[in-house]
Structure 1
């Protein structure tokens, strides 16, 4: 695990609730979401602009966090979650990627995306 002093950013992870749509499918319901606090490291990897159809700012970020919640045994961030930090909302891109040290799971690397405009 990464020592907490190397994870300086306090993040709000939003987990969607579940509901059933009119066809009987289980779908995400953001009106019943839950939240958990996670210590992590946020780093912007790329930035781009989309000026063809609109004036959009696009950022791809990397979140590093420990594998489990404090005192728990469940993964802290899932592929369907949203991450809130520093006044921005990020969408999780794909499943969290485990990073291993020789003996065991060390931390997760989670790709995030934000679009403004």
Structure 2
């Protein structure tokens, strides 16, 4: 586990619940989501604007985080989950990248995307 001084931010990782739609498919249910707080490093990698018929701000970020939440439970993160930090809202892009030490899972490297507007 990475020490807290290297991961100075507390972020919420949100997982959707699930429900069945009218066609019998299992779909995400954000009204039944759960959250886990985790220590993380947040770093913006790129920023862009989309001004083609809208005024959107787009950011791609990297989140490095412990493999355990602040309650000591193993952290589970999937593509499409949401991350909340300091009033910003992100979507997890693809699966998280596990980084291991020689003996155990050390941390996750997770790509995030934010779109506003």
TM over 0.5: yes
Deviations 1:14-53 (A, max 9, x none): 1101100011111000111111111111000000111122
- SS of 2:52's equivalent? coil
TM-score norm. by structure 2 comes to 0.90
Structure 1 segments of 4 or more deviating over 3 A? none
TM-score norm. by structure 1 comes to 0.90
Give 1:105's aligned residue.
105
For 2:105 and 2:35, locate their aligned partners in 1 and report how far apart those are by CA, in whole Å: 24
For 1:113 and 1:77, locate their aligned partners in 2 and report how far apart those are by CA, in whole Å: 15
Unaligned residue ranges in structure 1 (runs of 5+): none
Q: In the comparison of the two structures, how many residue pairs are matched?
A: 116
Unaligned residue ranges in structure 2 (runs of 5+): none
For 2:3 and 2:24, locate their aligned partners in 1 and report how far apart those are by CA, in whole Å: 44
Give 1:60's aligned residue.
60
Structure 1 stretch 40-49 or stretch 5-14: which is displaced more? Answer: 5-14
Measured after TM superposition, the shift of residue 55 of structure 1 is 1.3
